[in-house]
Amino acid sequence: MLRRIGGALLLLWLVLTITFALIRLAPGDAATFLVPPSATAADAARIRAELGLDRSIAVQYARWAIALLRGDLGESFSLHQPVASALAQALPVSLALGAASLALTFIVGVPLGMLQAVRRGSRVDRAITFLTTVVYAAPSFWLALALVAVFTYGAAAWGLPRWMRLPAFAMRSPGAELHGAAAVMDAVRHALLPVTILAAVGAAGIARYARSSVADVLGRDFVRTARAKGASPRRVYFRHVLATVLPALIVLFALSLPGLVAGSIFVEAVFAWPGMGRLMVNAITARDYPLVMGAAAIYAAIVLLANLTADLALPLVDPRRRA
């Protein structure tokens, strides 16, 4: 176990070093974006010196590495605040979005896939297969625009009741002083469209997976035996089939979180949510090296934690994997 954690930390270091090298290879540095157009070359040189960008890449790398070991992620060039506090503001937004969609993804996706596998070849199966394949093929930003068109503009234009009109911008109503239940309702209404889109795309993928893996299991001998000895269909599906596919689904659950957090980049872009995605895109375009490194570290940590969780969870749900 300690070896696994050590390996993960080593990998994290490697990821960050590769990212460090990649962004320094890019033409232009933060100083080109920070100086006003009227600035002279001397002004730019002064800013470079202030940020430490005039030193060699090896020195910059060593400085960054030493600071990181002390737990210091540095100061963002473009936001003029510590990277740690910028991340602390953005990460909860994306994590909440990712976690809510992840839960919905599995709550909707797994039963859909199981239903399809049980009713294989039926009209229900074909309809759901069509739907999931189309949603799986659709870009999330296009789905987002489509839902905004219907539920924000369309709902208002067609005179639908107020609760069906959903906001398409930001995380809460701007300027509104809401408290208690009203504030919660407001946040939920703002989250409804982004979460629905992320969950729909995720659930389509999970349903496709669950359908094929459950269909595989349904054809196995032990399922036939269970049926032959008179187990009720419900017992067969839950005790025998679900128990067999559960380990793979739990691993998939853990491994899906990074994809959802990264996938929220598009949803955050469309709905103007101040999460990790928007932070990352802005940091890269502004050549804000410390912020890019900090965001990359968070993303990599999420992936590695998800992998570790999957490894740890597997023996818990799958007796065959217990050492």
Q: Which residues bind another protein (CB under 8 A)?
A: 11-12, 14-15, 18-19, 22-23, 25-27, 120-121, 126, 129, 133-134, 136-139, 141-142, 145-146, 148-149, 153, 205, 208-209, 211-213, 216, 248, 258-259, 261-263, 265-266, 269-270, 280-281, 284-285, 287, 292, 295-296, 299-300, 303-304
Of the two residues 126 and 224, which places its CB atom closer to another protein in the complex? 126
Q: What kind and span of H or E run contains 279? A: helix 276-285
Cα dist. 155→118, 166, 192, 195, 236 in Å?
Answer: 37, 8, 15, 19, 45
Q: How far is the CB of 33 from another protein (least distance, A)?
A: 12
Q: How far is the CB of 92 from another protein (least distance, A)?
A: 18
Q: How far is the CB of 266 from another protein (least distance, A)?
A: 6
Of the two residues 138 and 231, which places its CB atom closer to another protein in the complex? 138
Of the two residues 78 and 187, which places its CB atom closer to another protein in the complex? 78
**Contact present, 190 and 171 (Cβ < 8 Å):** yes
Q: How far is the CB of 185 from another protein (least distance, A)?
A: 26
Of the two residues 35 and 136, which places its CB atom closer to another protein in the complex? 136
State the Cα–Cα distance between residues 315 and 40, nearest whole angstrom.
63
DSSP 179: -
Phi/psi for 230 (5° steps) reads: 95, 15
Q: What kind and span of H or E run contains 207? A: helix 180-218
Q: How far is the CB of 323 from another protein (least distance, A)?
A: 21
Kindly provide the b/e burial profile for residues 133-143, where b requires at least 16 CB atoms within 10 angstroms of the residue's own CB: eebbeeebeeb
Of the two residues 15 and 231, which places its CB atom closer to another protein in the complex? 15
Cα dist. 207→116, 264, 291, 307 in Å?
Answer: 8, 20, 37, 22
**Contact present, 113 and 214 (Cβ < 8 Å):** yes
Q: How far is the CB of 58 from another protein (least distance, A)?
A: 20
Of the two residues 214 and 236, which places its CB atom closer to another protein in the complex? 214
